[in-house]
Amino acid sequence: MRKTPEYALFTRLWKVDGQVLARVFRLGLPMGVTAVAEATLFTVSAVMMGWIGEVPLAAHGIAMQLSSMTFVVHLGLSQAATVRAGRAFGRRDEVALRTGGVAALALSAAMALL
């Protein structure tokens, strides 16, 4: 508060700002619903595999782990590409923007081939 008094941080900490809270809720609601739906679908699929038997459940778990590892690599590459693209766009550097896009696509394709 001493270093940046112009921002008045923590002055209304216990007072709820309904308008801002509603904006944040509207922004986060679609992602929250998506996350709950995704988790529910994966959990229900595992339960259903358990109904079939232990071996199918184990096979399902292995398949889910392998597909998750593949997905996480592509997710990380996409996040890194987004950061690079944002920085290049902010600098108005079209060459770096294209280079970053090509690099992300090439790495993603290499991972998919692997």
Q: What pLDDT is recorded for position 1?
A: 67
Q: Residue 60 and residue 46: Cα distance in Å, rounded?
A: 7
Q: What pLDDT is recorded for position 55?
A: 95
Domain limits, the chain? 14-51, 54-113
The CA distances from residue 88 to 2, 39, 96, in Å, are: 35, 35, 6
pTM: 0.59
Q: Tens-of-pLDDT digits for all 114 residues of the chain?
A: 677 777 777 777 788 888 989 999 999 999 999 999 999 999 999 999 999 999 999 999 999 999 898 889 999 999 999 999 999 999 999 999 999 999 999 999 998 898
